[in-house]
Amino acid sequence: MSNVEINTFGCRLNIYESEAIKEQLKDLTFNDDIIVFNTCAVTKEAEKQAVQAIRKAKRDFPNKKIIVTGCAAQLDPSKFAKMSEVDKVLGNQEKFEKNNYSLTQEPAELKILVNDIMSTKETAGHIVSSFEGMIRSFVQIQNGCNHRCTFCTIPFARGNSRSVPIASIVEQTKKLVDNGYKELVLTGVDITDFGLDLPGSPTLGEMVQRLLKLVPELPMLRLSSLDVAEIDPLLFELMAYEPRVMPYAHISLQAGDNMILKRMKRRHNREQVLEFCHKLRTSRPDTVFGADIIAGFPTETEEMFQNSFDLIAQAGLQLLHVFPYSARSNTPAARMPQLPKQIRKERAEKLRAEGHKELHKFFNSAIGKNYKVIVEQPHLGRTDNFLQVKLPPELGLKEGDIIDMNITGYEDKYLIASFINSL
């Protein structure tokens, strides 16, 4: 697929799916040079960035054809079809059909190929052999979402929750491990809903346990965002005591105030978050916690915001993804009383600063300790608990190496380490 370039926006699942598209097209040569934009629809800003990138690509490469797909294309295909720069729009299912990337002379109405995503009942276990330019690999275990958070459009872009059969997950994992990947991330839209639609309704914990047993050569396994209200007991046990499950938990938090969580239609409350973090940290003290938080959700008072702010220190959340609230069309939250954008922005900055403070607290506690590190670049790596670490450049380390390092200090967002030995 030398004449097809793919630009990816958004989440880990989109990264995975872009690689799946590459696998589909790798043996094909098209008449035109094509740029594919795999878009995101989580925020207005994500859509805006995609539109800007499309226009820039056409200016820079006027002879190339442009195909737009992904969540933003699924939700509003006509928006992209109306752009003079765009030659074709594919939905989230249609992007996996290789014939859809053909740009032969077609009727104008075929410029848009987007189906009703809610009619999709299964999620294929796409086989991906590699991730270009990455040492970390991803495996899709689930797609879609059965829940309807009031701020979110993703269920309408992805459909209802569908799980990948365990046998397909194992097959994909073995292929990636055979190709040299040592760290794997299980990803999806709502992975704690895994298995509800499969025969026997296996839980996420049962699937992870089986995967680790059937692929014993996989050294490092991570989980993408988790909803603490749906973590099954076996999954918690694996997170707490299984050394091949990395000590990092990313929580789909969104807010730390119970009234705001209720208005968001989230499944958890702040007490469950505190209990989960305390319990896991007690069992596995080196665990680092990440979280997604929305700042300035409609109706959020100063007191409600303070509850979210306080939860960062109370739960010990070190790695935050903070987003100022972005109203999405046709969502219940968009019809609620909105906060001024400046207040949303200011609150987001305060949350980020508090998260940075918690990160530095953890950095201080890490000095003098040893951590397993996977090398991402010759001078940079990630600890097993997902902290960035600067490595001595004179070691000549290779990407993908797993090494033991001793933490000697830190600066800004990076730990500083000295070498102990290779693993």
pTM of the model: 0.89
CA atoms of 309 and 93, how far apart (whole Å): 39
Query: Helices 233-241 and 204-214 meet at what angle, rounded to 10?
Result: 50
* Residue 130 covered by a domain: no
Whether residue 170 is found in the same domain as residue 152: yes
Q: Per the domain annotation, does 91 fall within a domain?
A: yes
Q: Return the CATH number at 354.
A: 3.80.30.20
**pLDDT mean values, one per 10 residues, the chain (423 residues):** 79 83 79 87 86 93 91 90 90 84 66 78 62 80 93 89 94 92 93 94 97 96 95 97 97 97 96 98 97 97 98 98 92 96 97 97 95 90 95 81 92 88 62
Instruction: Give the CATH number for residue 46.
Output: 3.40.50.12160
Domain match, 85 and 186 both? no
Measured in whole angstroms, the distance separating CA 242 from the mean position of its chain's CA atoms is 22
Please tell me the predicted confidence (pLDDT) of residue 381: 93
Strand segments (E) across 242-346: 248-254, 288-295, 319-324
Q: Are residues 153 and 284 in the same domain?
A: yes
Determine the pLDDT at residue 106: 57
125 inside domain: no
Contacts of 107 (CB under 8 A, 6+ apart): none
Tokens of 341: 């954008």
**131 assigned to some structural domain:** no
For residues 34 and 77, state if they share a domain.
yes
* Nearest-angstrom CA–CA distance, 112 and 232: 41
- Overall number of domains in the chain: 3
User: Of 340, 365, 390, which marks where a domain is finished?
Assistant: 365
- 379 and 337 share one domain: no
Is residue 104 located within the same domain as residue 155? no
In this structure, are 285 and 317 located in the same domain?
yes
The verdict on 143 and 275 lying in the same domain is: yes
pLDDT of residue 229: 94
* Residues 375 and 319 reside in one and the same domain: no
CATH code for the domain of 416: 2.40.50.140
Does any domain span residue 123?
Answer: no
Domain stop point among 115, 148, 172: 115
Number of H helices, E strands in the chain: 12, 18
Q: How many CB atoms neighbour CB 318 within 10 A?
A: 24
Whether residues 180 and 93 share a domain: the answer is: no
pLDDT of residue 132: 65
Q: Are residues 331 and 216 in the same domain?
A: yes
- Asked whether residue 62 is domain-assigned, the answer is yes
| 85 in Cβ contact with 56 (< 8 Å) | no
**Is 89 inside a domain boundary?**
yes
341 in a structural domain = yes
Q: Are residues 220 and 241 in the same domain?
A: yes
Can you give the residue range of the structural domain that contains 109? Answer: 4-115
Closest of 293, 263, 289 to residue 276, by C-alpha: 289
- Which of 365, 380, 397 is the endpoint of a domain? 365
